[in-house]
Structure 1
Amino acid sequence: MDFSLADEQRMVQEMARDFAEKEIAPYVEEDEENHYYRREILTKMGELGLLGWSIPEEYGGNGMGWLEAVTALYEISKVHTSWRLSVSGNCWGPALTINEWGTEEQKQKYIPGLVSGKHVGSFAMTEADTGSDVAGMKTFAEDKGDHFLVNGSKMWISGGHTCDVGLLYVVTEKGAGAKGLSCLIVDYNHTPGVTRIPILKKVGMWPAPTSELVFENAVIPKENLLGPVNKGFPICMWMLNNTRMGCAIGAAALSAACLEGAVQYAQERTQFGRQIGQYQMIQQQIAEMKLEDEAAKYLVYHAAWLKEKKLPSQQATSLAKLFSCNAAVHAANVAMKLYGSYGYSTEYPCGRWLRDAKQFETLEGTSNIHMQIIAKIELGYQPNR
């Protein structure tokens, strides 16, 4: 496998880097301080085709696949990892899943708005008592003939109170576990009975909106059922195998940002008349960060290559997500120590790096869940999809 960039991929990389530096970087600290989500950035991402990866051009896709997506999203996430959520929330969550499982009418109705950035997307699985145990969710959709009547709640939903369109995973047959779940497409701007509550008390990812969703006799038309009834669990697992790539890319890019910052600071800071980078212990820390950063990047590209070839990629995706997560947390921790007292100051990005890195340990499958996936596939207890 040769992961060197072709000319077109290099152009994508440069375009994404230029976008991140001009449209995201100037507002990072301001938006962090104010916990502010700039919807106009997502709109601009859509206009540049940064939300249309692996989506057919007939529905507004950009004609490019997973490898180009990794190249672009990596550059965006290095500047501010909060914005990698837009690709998962719009493209690899609802748009790609609707493209795989939806009717032609659903594809034409929902995908173009998501990939153009006209609409903000989301997907909702997690509940207050069900995180890793997706099949244990309680939100119930009662079949009323021409519509579903939905009651229940979802927690920790990225983009939940800012989105226009989202996928909602619900119970449609009580007591059936994973065999009783279904997926619904929700038009949040035209669905009475939905209360969306921002979750403001978070450790990190402050400019990325997170929400609680409450459904009280919410009416979802029957034509908004995605795929067959009671087949929501395999749809959800298929979707997660895609959206988890966004986590892996974001974590790998955050690791790279920490490394770049640490190297720059080690060359600028002097102690006892020498750059601190000249001291052996600092060099060891930099070497460890570089080792993990390179490994994370190659694991991400390998998983993307498998997806591009339509080969089984579940284990590779979990490997990339788990290792990149660990690399990001370690790199952020080392960077904060290397910066010394300045690392603890909000004048430098170390605090943001560490806060944002920690969320990767729970997002879209905890580290324990990904260890289980990797081990069970390796042991032959479950297939590598």
Structure 2
Amino acid sequence: MLSERLDDFVTLAREIFGEEFIPLHRPVFGGNETRYLTGCIESNFVSSAGAKVGAFEQAVAEFVGAKHGIATVNGTAALHVALMVAGVTRGDEVLSQSLTFAATCNAISYIGARPVFIDVDRDTLGFSPTALRRWLETHARVENGHSYSRTTGARIAACVPMHTFGLPVHIAELSALCAEFHIPLIEDAAESLGSRVGDRQTGTFGAISAFSFNGNKIITTGGGGMLTTDDDEIARKARHLSTTAKLPHDYNFVHDMVGYNYRMPNLNAALGLAQMERLPAMLEIKAELARRWRAACPALGLTWIEAPTGTHPNNWLNAVLVRDRAARDAMLEYTNAQGVMTRPVWTPMHQLAHFADCQTDGLEVTEWLADRVVNIPSSVPENQFHRLIPTI
């Protein structure tokens, strides 16, 4: 029975995408990318001083609804800077989720802070407000406008929820809870550009947010990221830190602190500007694809992961649940052998050797999901490419 359903899955995937080999998610070009890249080359401004960087920052910030955008070389760099300007320092603790890509916890570790892993919700695959309240009421104390761990005495310097696969977490509840306990909220929105809670875009609930434009994201700059914020001072500090902390001057090189060479090059920003032109159409097509997969799930023996009521995911990577780990592994092995890419969720961070000694709340749901989640092909089908090509 399982093999028959997997055959049906492969058949449907080929029907949808019209290809023999079907990747999990690939970028689409063919709009103004070549034109904008050529303009950069002809101007000789190919590094971070080019005008396209500022234009891309403005385009993303306006789309999201944030006052400022600061472009970086990748999403991890954006997270690193966000944590620093939020005031996270060595020895602090940062509340996060174990069910995430490694970049979330790597950025915390760059500073010398330590992740504390709180469980996720089944409906969002993301940070659970219920689990967070339970942990804070047991382990945290508020003193002089900061939260501290009753267990270690360390300051709880930030909370970093991640919108997994573009599914919005219960971010309003998390924001209220963080405010109650005086913990800065930093959104890891790396995967959720275009996702909304009501009419509000993800990446606008925290004091600072970080996006990624890696090659497999909903729009790509090849490699790139962005920090967004409404706070003028946070934006100033983030821009300063990400440009090697160089003081503005026409010709002198003076740096007033240790900074980072994290600014996005003009070439990458040019690519991103062209990609942003097609984002609304991309979101429409991916919603249609998600609806088709969702409708097929019952017959395929799969459970569609439904976004919570009132939220609108960007459907970056579609995800389903299977019966158990054995069924997950059978599906992964069979589909990939047939040239249809599927993948499991990441190995949870607390199961990696370098994070194995971090505090956790038990992570029951995290481990349950890790055994059952499978990502399925989510690219724009070739027969829909024409809808993504703007008039030049």
TM-score when normalising by structure 1: 0.25
Which structure ranks higher in relative contact order (CA pairs < 8 Å, sequence separation ≥ 6)? Answer: 2
The structure with the largest helix share of the pair is: 1
